[in-house]
Amino acid sequence: MSETKAKIKVDNLVKNYGDNAVLKGINLEVKNNEVVVIIGPSGSGKSTLLRTLNKLEEPTGGSIVVDGYDIAKPDTDINKVRENIGMVFQHFNLFNNLTVGENITLAPLELKKEAPKQATEHAHSLLQMVGLESKFDARVQSLSGGQQQRVAIARALAMKPDVMLFDEPTSALDPEMVGDVLAVMKDLAKQGMTMVVVTHEMGFAKEVADRVIFVDDGQILEEGTPDELFGHPKHPRLQDFLNKIL
């Protein structure tokens, strides 16, 4: 597989909620091993875009091809799509009634029918990677927000996805916990994971992103390298947005 092969190719993606046009023709290509950061004002459609990539939302129009597989088609096997694309949410969405280890092994055991020994070993190595080796048997609620988010990342990785989507993964965290989560994400990027990250962490974007995309009102208004977007923003809406958050 060539390094520049598109992992995700979105063509003219449209999403309406009733009369509300939320995505107005998004064209986006994410290459293998690429890290793409999406920025934009609240309500501009960033979460909706990520959720359609993972088929948590049905697109109204357009096509989404992941690894050559058109996931926008209504007859696509949704479980197969989700096995391949891990997602991390702002509010972790862990199962609070399960232990950390159970959260991580659940999908591999149930959906992939992995052997328990194998799933458990993998979970331990993922917990080591996110710096929480000792927490396998811990209750989710005994963990801090930052720890829970790192467990959520480990849980997504347990399915051995090709692509990871992050929707504002540090927005709900106390400031002192943000760094640990970003460090795990940086590690993942270094390992060559293909990632699409919605975040307002400009430091992370500058350091890790290959490309930054500015979404406003359901459209991509500008995209480029972090230097281009942050250093020389062209569109007045982007200049405005950066002035507000920086």
Binding site for Mg ion (CB under 5 A): 46-47
**Segment contacting ligand ADP (CB under 6 A): 15-23, 94-102, 105-113, 174-182?**
15-23
Q: Is 95 in the site for ligand ADP (CB under 6 A)?
A: no
Question: Of these partners, ligand ADP, Mg ion, none, which one is at the site of residue 141 (CB under 5 to 8 Å by kind)?
Answer: none
Q: Pick the closer one to Mg ion by CB: 32 or 90.
A: 90
- Rounded to whole angstroms, the Cα distance separating 19 from 41 reads 20
Angle at 35 between CA 34 and CA 36, to 5 degrees: 110
Q: Pick the closer one to ligand ADP by CB: 22 or 123.
A: 22
DSSP for residue 227: I
- Rounded to whole angstroms, the Cα distance separating 9 from 193 reads 17
What number of chain residues touch ligand ADP (CB under 6 A)?
11
What stretches of the chain show up as alpha helix (H) in DSSP? 46-53, 78-84, 100-110, 116-129, 145-157, 175-190, 202-208, 226, 236-245
Structure token digits, residue 114: 């992995």
Query: Is residue 119 within 8 Å of residue 125, measured between CB atoms?
Result: no
Q: Pick the closer one to ligand ADP by CB: 48 or 103.
A: 48
Q: Pick the closer one to ligand ADP by CB: 101 or 169.
A: 169
Question: Of these partners, Mg ion, ligand ADP, none, which one is at the site of residue 69 (CB under 5 to 8 Å by kind)?
Answer: none
Question: Of these partners, Mg ion, ligand ADP, none, which one is at the site of residue 148 (CB under 5 to 8 Å by kind)?
Answer: none
| Residue 48 CB, nearest approach to Mg ion (Å) | 8
Q: Any residues with CB less than 8 A from the CB of 198 and at least 6 apart, and which?
A: 37, 38, 39, 46, 47, 50, 166, 167, 168
Report the site for ligand ADP in 26-65 (rule: CB under 6 A). Answer: 40, 42-48
| Residue 168 CB, nearest approach to Mg ion (Å) | 6
Contact positions vs ligand ADP (CB under 6 A): 17, 20, 22, 40, 42-48
